[in-house]
Structure 1
Amino acid sequence: MSLEKTLVILKPSAVQRGLIGEITTRFERKGLRLAGMKMMQLTDELLNEHYAHLSEKPFFQRVKNSMMASPVIVCCYEGVDAIQVVRSMTGATNGRVAIPGTIRGDFSVSSQENIVHTSDSPKTAIEEINRFFKPEELFEYKQVHMPYLYHTDEYQLV
């Protein structure tokens, strides 16, 4: 298996509540490698592209308004099956039904103000990472503890 990259956005609800460190610590402790991170203010134009699949929904503007309420933290994490690992750690979209122990289960009681956005598939992850990061904003580096995260038959460095 090769290592997979995924996008995580710490939404305004995470930024405003001071949860950035707590959430990034969870991903690091799990063993995911941080490949890129930055703070940015999302724009209407960027969100129209990012949430194009929701453009016909009645809540589309509410989603965009929520995402522009404050800056966000955009992260790219890498690991074996990183997309599924991150989504499992994140929990159900609606924080009221997310299982305790997940990020949303521990920090959210809302379906909208639900702390994080995560990529849902390899195709989406590539599109989203390219949307939010320039190539020079992503970093490749060797983690010295890789042999303690995975057995050598679980991954191959590309």
Structure 2
Amino acid sequence: MLNIPFIHALSDVQTRDIGAGTRIWQFVVILDGARIGENCNICSHCLIEGDVFVGNDVTVKSGVQLWNGVVLEDGVFIGPNVTFTNDRHPRSGNRSFALSRTVVERGASIGGGATLLPGIRIGAGAMVGAGSVVTKDVPPGMTVAGNPARELRTPA
């Protein structure tokens, strides 16, 4: 394990709250206030806003934006081009929107290209299939897929 994070020279990292062993690749922007845990892998072309928490051992693949209010607990996997949202009624220039927090609990996996509506909670160990549109909470251990995402497999 590295004692310090690796931050690629072609990234723009404004926070200092990054754990040991974390790797941040090129063309990543991380705003001041974001908290990134240990041994994470933040792949190229990602944006992380300031009111975001990323736990330990998290993988965020390329093309992901983590908007204010997103929480990724330990051991989470976020596939490429997953879309998070934080505003239930978006309008251009609306700075008074009500922030909706999205939480992905420990060990959950979100497949590439999935979209999560604001205020969703993905339970521990749950899996969201690639390309799914998640409109409501996913219980721990459940696998969902589709548009809208529906249960494929009940937790064991």
Larger proportion of helix: 1
TM-score computed with the length of structure 2 as normaliser: 0.22
Greater RCO (CA < 8 Å, at least 6 residues apart): 1
